[in-house]
C-alpha cells in the first residue's frame, strides 16, 4: 500500500544508510486519456469532531504535495484553508474550504513523456500521480450545513479521530450523515503523540459507536523505553516507518519486519498479530481474500501486499460499508500523513466509481445517466396522456444536446473576485463563456470565468469537466443547491425544451434554524445596505434565514446555533461594515394549526410596475397527516415538500402537467405563464404566508396547504408571476386567520438530540441534572441502545459489531479499560444520549464544565418540534411578553 515499497516498479529511490533505508519520493507521469484522468481524481472531504486535527492534517497534505513551502499552523492563524478573519481569530473552521493538489507530486520539469501503459500497469495506484480535490469541513455542530453540502458532492472521505478523546459525538453525527450519502471512508487516528492517547480504546469505539469493523492497516510504533510515538507499523506491507523527532516529516526510515525484530522484538510480534487479524477480517467480508488465503497455504504473512490492498479497496467501496481501513499518526508531529495520502489514492473511489446521481425531471425521479442515455423517456413517459405521446422521441433527441450538468454546492462573496459559485460537474463539461441555464430558478446566466481553487488562491481554467470540482465567477443569481446545465443555443428566457428545463439534481436539504436575532439599521439611509448585505449572507449560507415581522417591522435573522449567529453578526458588522443594531439571540419557536380551515379566496387586482396585474388564488389549510400524502405525484396534482415539515398540494384538475387544457371545455395557461412558472409563483406565495403564525408570530410547522388552480377563474392575460405570488400569499394568510378564529394554534418548541461525553465519576450528577432540572429524557448510556437514533439505516442495515472480536494492540500505559466493558474503569469516558428542550440547553456548556471540572463536552442537533403545554406554556409566553415589553 505504501509508496515506500522497494519494488523495481516503485517510484521510490532507495538509499542504504547503516543498514536502514531512507526514501525520497518521485513519480511516474504518463500522457493519459480523459477517462484515465478521471480515474485518477479523488473528490474527498475531511470530517471529524472539532479539534480532532482536520485542518492540521490538511496543512501537512499541502506541504508534502508541494503546494506550500511551509506548514501552516492553526494557533498562529497561518493555515491555508482557514483564511477567514473569524477562523483565524477563533482557531476553528467555519466555512468548508476547497483545495486541489497532486499526490504524489509531479517533479518539476517532469513532462508527460510516454504512453507505455504496460509499464504503467506494473505500478501501484499510489505510485501514479492523482489529482486530489479536498474539502476541509467544520467540526462545530453549529456549522452542520457546511458539512452537509460538502458531503453531497464528495466521492470519499477521511474521518479523523482524536486518539485521546476517541470517537466523539460530532464524529458519530457526521458518520451517520456520510452513511446517508453512501460515502466510502477511511479512518485516521490522530494525536497519538499526546499524553493519554488510547489507540486500543479508540479502535474498540469505532466498532461500538460507528458500527463498522475497523481494519487496522497501521498500528502505532511506541518507542521502547519512554513509550513515545516514533512512527507507525505498516500492517499491509509488513514494515515499520520511522519519523525523526522534530523533523518536517519528509524523511522517513523504513525497516522490514526482520529489521524491526532486531530493534524491537515485541513490536515485531505485534505487527505479525495485526497482519493475521487483518487477513481474518477481510476474509469475512471478501470472498476473493478467502481464495488467496487458501492459495498461500493459509499463511497470513505470505499474502502479497497488492492483493491485500485490492481486498481493502473492495471492502471500502461496498455499500453499505461494513469495513473501514484505519491508519495511525500524529499530524502535528508530522507522523503518518504521507501514508494516509497514499491510502486516499489506493482505497477511495474515483468519480466514475460512484453511484449515478439522482435527478428529478418534471414529476419523474430517476438517475442522470438514464436520462442522458435517452432511456428515461422510453421507459417512463410512454404511459402518459395522449397529449404527451410525442414527448419520448422529442426528449430522447434533446438530451443529446446537454453539454454539461452540475450542482452548485457553495456560494462565496469574495472581496476581490466577486461572487464565487463552487460547482461539482456530474456529466459533460462546463466551458468558460457558456450560457448556463439554472433549472431551479428558471434563468440563464453566462459563465464569464472559471477557477480551480487553492483555498483563498486560484488559477484560471477554461472548463470544468465531469467529476471535477471548480468555481464559476460572476454568476449573479445561482444559489446553493441549484442545478446548472449547459445547452448550446439555449433560449435565455425559457431555457432548454421541456421537460429538460425542469431537470434537477438531488437538492441539498437545509436544516431548520432554531435561534434568531433582530437586525435593525442605525438609520433609514442604511436600510438598503442592510437588506443587500443580508441577501449576500443568505446566498452564501442557506441555513441562515431572514424574515420580516410585519407587525413590528423588525428584520429577524435565524440560524442553527448561538455561535452560528455570532459569526453571521461579525460578518455583517466587521466584514461588510454594515451599520446595524443586533438584538439578543432568542429561540425560534414554531406554531402549528390544530384543525382544518375553510377555503379562502383572494382576488388581486392592482398595478405592479405601472402595469395592470390580476390574479386569483384559493387555499385551505390543515394539520399535516403524512398518511394522506402520497409518495408520488398523482395525476393533475403536484405534491411539494416545504421546509419545517410543511407540505403543499396543488390541485389542477383541468390542466396537464405542461399547462395544457385537458378538454375542449377547459382553458390552457396563457402564453406568459408556463406551468413551471405557475408552480414557482404559487410556492413562493405559500412560503411567504407560512413565515408568520397568527398567535405568536413564529413560522408555521407541520402544516398542509392545498391550492386549487382553475385557469378559467384565476388567470388571464394580465396575470403575472408576481401577481400570482401575492394573491397566493394573501389567500393562505386568509385561511390561516380563519383557522385561528375557529381553533387555537399550538406553540411548538425545538427539542434537541443531545450527546454528552463525560468521565465515569461525573455520570450521576449530569444524568440527574438532565432528567430533573432540564426536563430531558435519557435515551441511552453508551451502548444501551441497539441503533443510533439519527441513523438513516434500518436496524437490519445497521451493523452490530462485537467489540470482543476486534483486534487492537495494547496501549503503552493501559489503565485496564479495554473498550469491551464500558464500566471497567472509573475514569472511562461515558456517553449520554438524551432529548432535551432547546430552551433548557441555552448556556449549558458553562454549567456542564462546572459539573465535570471542565472535562465535559456535548453536541446537539434538532430532533423534532413538540407542542408546549401546561405550566411550561405559561412560563414561555410570559417570557415572550417580557421580551416584547423590554
Q: Is 606 annotated as a binding residue?
A: no
Residue at which a domain ends, from 722, 743, 764: 743
Report residue 96 as a C-alpha cell: 468548508
321, 180: one domain? yes
Q: In this predicted structure, what is the pLDDT of residue 673? A: 84
Q: Is 619 annotated as a binding residue?
A: no
267, 300: one domain? yes
498 and 395 Cβ atoms separated by less than 8 Å: no
Residue 2 falls within a domain, yes or no? no
**Per 3-state DSSP, what percentage of the chain is helix, strand, and coil (rounded to 5)?**
30, 30, 40
What CATH number did the domain enclosing 567 receive? Answer: 3.30.70.870
Q: Which whole number is the average pLDDT over 214-237? A: 91
Residue 4 falls within a domain, yes or no? no
172, 92: one domain? yes
Least confident of 286-290, 398-402, 766-770, 880-884: 880-884
What CATH number did the domain enclosing 69 receive? Answer: 3.40.50.300
C-alpha–C-alpha distance, residues 20 and 23, integer Å:
10
3-state secondary structure of 515: strand
Q: Is 139 annotated as a binding residue?
A: yes
Q: Is 136 annotated as a binding residue?
A: yes
Report residue 348 as a C-alpha cell: 477511495
Q: Which whole number is the average pLDDT over 814-821? A: 50
C-alpha–C-alpha distance, residues 363 and 475, integer Å:
28
C-alpha–C-alpha distance, residues 162 and 58, integer Å:
15
Q: Is 264 annotated as a binding residue?
A: no
Q: Is 138 annotated as a binding residue?
A: yes
614, 646: one domain? yes
329, 385: one domain? no
Residue 511 falls within a domain, yes or no? no
What CATH number did the domain enclosing 734 receive? Answer: 3.30.230.10
Report residue 144 as a C-alpha cell: 452542520
Q: Which whole number is the average pLDDT over 607-622? A: 90
Residues 6+ apart with CB under 8 A from 586: 515, 516, 517, 883
Residue 796 falls within a domain, yes or no? yes
Q: Is 193 annotated as a binding residue?
A: yes
Tell me the backbone φ, ψ of residue 651, rounded to 5 degrees: -95, 125
Q: Which whole number is the average pLDDT over 292-320? A: 96
349, 368: one domain? no
Domains in the chain, number: 5
Model-level pTM? Answer: 0.79
Residue 564 falls within a domain, yes or no? yes
Report residue 577 as a C-alpha cell: 461594515
| Pairing relationship of beta strands 41-48 and 130-136 according to DSSP bridges | parallel
366, 423: one domain? yes
pLDDT for 166-183, tens place per residue? 998 888 888 988 998 999
388, 252: one domain? no
Q: In this predicted structure, what is the pLDDT of residue 551? A: 66
- Count other C-beta atoms under 10 Å from residue 831's C-beta: 23
164, 286: one domain? yes
Q: Report the DSSP beta bridge partners of residue 162.
A: 166, 190
799, 881: one domain? yes
Q: What is the 3-state secondary structure (H, E, C) of 9-21?
A: CCCEEEEEECCEE
C-alpha–C-alpha distance, residues 92 and 137, integer Å:
10
Residue 589 falls within a domain, yes or no? no
Report residue 171 as a C-alpha cell: 464524529
Q: Is 325 annotated as a binding residue?
A: no
DSSP 173-204: HHHHHHHHTT--EEEEEE-TTSTT--HHHHHH
DSSP 639-682: EEEETTTEEEEEE-TTB-TTS-BSSTTS-PPPTT--HHHHHHHH
What CATH number did the domain enclosing 809 receive? Answer: 3.30.70.240
Residue whose C-alpha is closest to residue 351's, from 36, 32, 42, 44: 42
Residue at which a domain ends, from 743, 776, 808: 743
- Count other C-beta atoms under 10 Å from residue 102's C-beta: 16
Q: Is 54 annotated as a binding residue?
A: yes
Residue 209 falls within a domain, yes or no? yes
- Chain centroid to CA 650: 31
Report residue 263 as a C-alpha cell: 530493534
C-alpha–C-alpha distance, residues 402 and 270, integer Å:
56
Q: Is 386 annotated as a binding residue?
A: no
pLDDT for 31-72, tens place per residue? 556 778 889 999 999 988 888 888 899 989 989 998 887 776
C-alpha–C-alpha distance, residues 410 and 478, integer Å:
10
Q: Is 192 annotated as a binding residue?
A: yes
Chain mean pLDDT for the chain: 82
347, 419: one domain? no
* Long-range CB pairs of 672-680, under 8 A, 24+ apart, other chains included: 672/717, 672/719, 672/720, 673/715, 673/719, 673/720, 673/721, 673/724, 674/494, 674/498, 676/442, 676/498, 676/501, 676/502, 677/442, 677/721, 678/709, 678/715, 678/724, 679/638, 679/640, 679/650, 680/442, 680/721
Give exposure, 615-643, as e/b (b: 16+ Cβ within 10 Å). bbbbbbbbebeeeeeeeebeebbbebebe
C-alpha–C-alpha distance, residues 92 and 94, integer Å:
6
C-alpha–C-alpha distance, residues 524 and 520, integer Å:
10
Range of the domain at 290: 12-353
Residue at which a domain ends, from 298, 330, 353: 353
pLDDT for 485-530, tens place per residue? 999 887 777 788 878 888 999 877 787 888 889 899 888 888 888 9
- Chain centroid to CA 293: 39
C-alpha–C-alpha distance, residues 466 and 485, integer Å:
12
336, 368: one domain? no
Q: Is 48 annotated as a binding residue?
A: yes
- 213-217, 439-443, 474-478, 587-591 — most confident range: 213-217
Least confident of 75-84, 240-249, 360-369, 766-775: 75-84
Q: In this predicted structure, what is the pLDDT of residue 722? A: 92
- Chain centroid to CA 646: 23
Q: Is 137 annotated as a binding residue?
A: yes
Q: Is 49 annotated as a binding residue?
A: yes
Residue whose C-alpha is closest to residue 812's, from 358, 250, 219: 219
Amino acid at each position: 500500500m505504501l509508496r515506500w515499497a522497494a519494488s523495481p516498479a516503485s517510484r521510490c529511490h532507495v538509499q542504504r544508510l547503516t543498514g536502514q533505508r531512507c526514501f525520497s519520493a518521485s513519480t511516474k507521469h504518463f500522457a493519459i486519456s480523459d477517462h484515465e484522468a478521471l480515474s485518477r481524481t479523488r473528490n474527498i472531504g475531511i470530517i471529524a469532531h472539532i479539534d480532532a486535527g482536520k485542518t492540521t492534517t490538511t496543512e501537512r497534505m499541502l506541504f508534502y504535495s508541494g503546494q506550500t513551502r511551509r506548514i501552516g499552523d492553526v494557533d498562529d492563524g497561518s493555515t491555508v484553508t482557514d483564511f477567514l478573519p473569524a477562523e483565524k481569530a477563533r482557531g476553528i473552521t467555519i466555512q468548508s474550504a476547497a483545495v486541489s493538489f497532486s499526490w504524489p507530486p509531479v517533479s518539476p520539469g517532469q513532462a508527460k513523456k510516454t504512453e507505455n501503459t504496460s509499464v504503467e500497469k506494473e505500478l501501484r495506484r499510489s505510485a501514479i500521480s492523482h489529482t486530489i480535490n479536498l474539502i476541509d469541513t467544520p467540526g462545530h455542530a453549529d456549522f452542520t450545513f457546511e458539512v452537509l453540502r460538502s458531503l453531497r458532492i464528495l466521492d470519499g472521505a477521511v474521518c479523523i479521530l482524536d486518539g485521546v478523546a476517541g470517537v466523539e459525538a460530532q464524529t458519530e453525527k457526521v458518520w451517520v450523515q456520510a452513511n446517508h450519502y453512501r460515502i466510502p471512508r477511511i479512518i485516521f487516528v490522530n494525536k497519538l503523540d499526546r499524553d493519554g492517547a488510547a489507540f486500543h480504546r479508540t479502535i474498540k469505539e469505532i466498532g461500538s459507536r460507528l458500527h463498522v469493523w475497523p481494519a487496522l492497516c497501521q498500528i502505532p510504533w511506541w518507542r521502547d523505553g519512554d513509550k513515545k510515538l516514533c512512527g507507525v507499523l505498516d500492517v499491509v506491507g509488513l514494515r515499520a516507518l520511522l519519523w525523526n523527532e522534530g523533523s518536517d516529516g519528509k524523511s522517513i526510515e523504513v525497516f522490514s519486519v526482520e529489521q524491526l525484530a532486531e530493534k524491537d522484538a515485541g513490536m515485531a510480534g505485534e505487527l505479525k498479530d495485526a497482519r493475521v487479524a487483518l487477513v481474518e477480517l477481510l476474509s469475512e467480508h471478501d470472498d476473493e481474500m478467502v481464495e488467496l488465503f487458501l492459495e498461500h497455504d493459509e499463511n497470513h504473512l505470505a499474502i502479497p501486499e497488492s492483493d491485500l490492498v485490492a481486498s481493502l479497496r473492495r471492502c471500502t467501496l461496498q455499500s453499505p460499508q461494513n469495513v473501514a481501513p484505519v491508519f495511525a499518526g500524529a499530524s502535528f508531529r508530522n507522523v503518518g500523513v504521507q501514508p494516509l495520502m497514499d491510502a486516499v489514492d489506493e482505497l477511495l473511489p474515483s468519480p466514475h466509481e460512484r453511484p449515478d446521481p439522482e435527478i428529478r425531471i418534471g414529476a419523474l425521479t430517476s438517475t442522470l445517466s438514464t436520462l442522458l442515455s435517452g432511456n428515461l423517456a422510453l421507459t417512463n413517459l410512454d404511459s402518459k396522456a395522449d397529449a404527451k405521446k410525442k414527448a419520448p422521441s422529442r426528449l430522447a433527441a434533446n438530451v443529446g444536446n446537454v453539454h454539461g450538468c452540475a450542482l452548485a454546492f457553495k456560494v462565496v462573496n469574495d472581496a476581490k473576485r466577486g461572487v464565487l459559485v463552487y460547482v461539482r460537474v456530474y456529466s459533460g463539461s462546463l466551458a468558460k463563456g457558456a450560457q448556463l441555464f439554472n433549472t431551479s430558478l428558471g434563468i440563464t446566466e453566462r459563465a464569464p470565468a472559471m477557477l480551480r481553487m487553492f483555498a483563498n488562491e486560484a488559477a484560471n481554467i477554461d472548463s470544468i469537466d465531469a467529476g471535477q470540482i471548480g468555481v464559476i465567477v460572476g454568476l449573479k443569481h445561482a444559489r446553493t443547491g441549484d442545478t446548472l446545465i449547459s445547452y448550446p443555443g439555449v433560449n435565455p428566457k425559457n431555457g432548454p425544451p421541456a421537460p429538460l428545463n425542469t431537470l434537477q439534481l438531488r437538492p441539498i436539504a437545509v436544516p431548520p434554524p432554531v435561534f434568531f436575532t433582530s437586525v435593525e439599521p442605525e438609520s433609514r439611509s442604511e436600510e438598503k445596505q442592510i437588506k443587500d448585505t443580508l441577501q449576500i449572507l443568505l446566498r452564501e449560507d442557506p441555513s441562515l434565514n431572514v424574515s420580516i415581522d410585519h407587525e413590528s417591522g423588525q428584520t429577524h435573522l435565524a440560524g442553527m446555533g448561538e455561535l452560528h449567529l455570532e459569526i453571521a453578526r461579525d460578518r455583517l458588522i466587521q466584514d461588510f461594515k454594515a451599520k446595524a443594531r443586533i438584538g439578543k439571540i432568542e429561540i425560534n419557536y414554531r406554531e402549528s394549526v390544530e384543525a382544518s380551515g375553510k377555503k379562502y379566496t383572494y382576488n388581486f387586482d392592482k398595478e405592479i410596475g405601472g402595469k395592470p396585474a390580476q390574479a386569483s388564488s384559493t387555499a385551505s389549510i390543515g394539520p399535516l397527516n403524512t398518511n394522506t400524502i402520497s409518495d408520488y405525484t398523482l395525476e393533475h396534482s403536484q405534491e411539494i415538500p416545504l421546509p419545517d415539515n410543511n407540505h403543499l398540494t396543488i390541485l389542477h384538475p383541468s390542466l396537464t402537467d405542461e399547462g395544457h387544457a385537458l378538454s375542449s371545455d377547459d382553458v390552457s395557461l396563457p402564453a406568459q405563464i408556463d406551468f413551471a412558472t405557475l408552480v414557482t409563483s404559487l410556492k413562493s406565495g405559500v412560503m411567504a404566508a407560512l413565515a408568520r403564525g397568527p398567535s405568536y408570530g413564529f413560522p408555521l410547522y407541520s402544516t398542509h396547504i392545498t391550492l386549487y388552480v382553475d385557469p378559467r377563474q384565476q388567470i388571464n392575460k394580465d396575470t403575472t408571476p408576481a401577481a400570482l405570488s401575492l394573491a397566493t400569499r394573501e389567500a393562505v394568510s386568509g385561511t390561516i386567520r380563519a383557522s385561528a378564529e375557529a381553533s387555537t394554534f399550538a406553540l411548538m418548541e425545538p427539542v434537541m438530540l443531545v450527546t454528552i461525553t463525560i468521565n465515569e465519576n461525573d455520570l450521576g450528577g449530569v444524568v440527574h441534572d438532565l432528567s430533573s432540572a432540564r426536563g430531558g429524557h435519557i435515551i441511552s448510556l453508551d451502548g444501551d441502545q441497539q441503533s443510533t437514533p439519527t441513523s438513516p439505516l434500518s436496524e437490519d442495515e445497521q451493523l452490530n459489531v462485537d467489540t470482543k472480536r476486534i483486534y487492537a494492540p495494547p496501549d503503552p500505559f493501559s489503565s485496564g479499560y479495554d473498550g469491551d466493558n464500558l464500566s471497567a474503569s472509573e475514569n472511562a469516558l461515558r456517553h449520554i444520549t438524551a432529548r432535551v428542550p432547546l430552551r433548557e440547553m441555552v448556556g449549558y456548556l458553562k454549567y456542564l464544565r462546572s459539573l465535570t471540572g471542565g472535562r465535559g463536552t456535548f453536541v446537539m442537533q434538532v430532533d423534532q418540534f413538540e407542542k408546549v403545554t401546561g405550566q411550561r406554556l405559561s412560563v414561555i409566553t410570559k417570557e415572550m411578553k417580557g421580551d416584547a415589553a423590554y
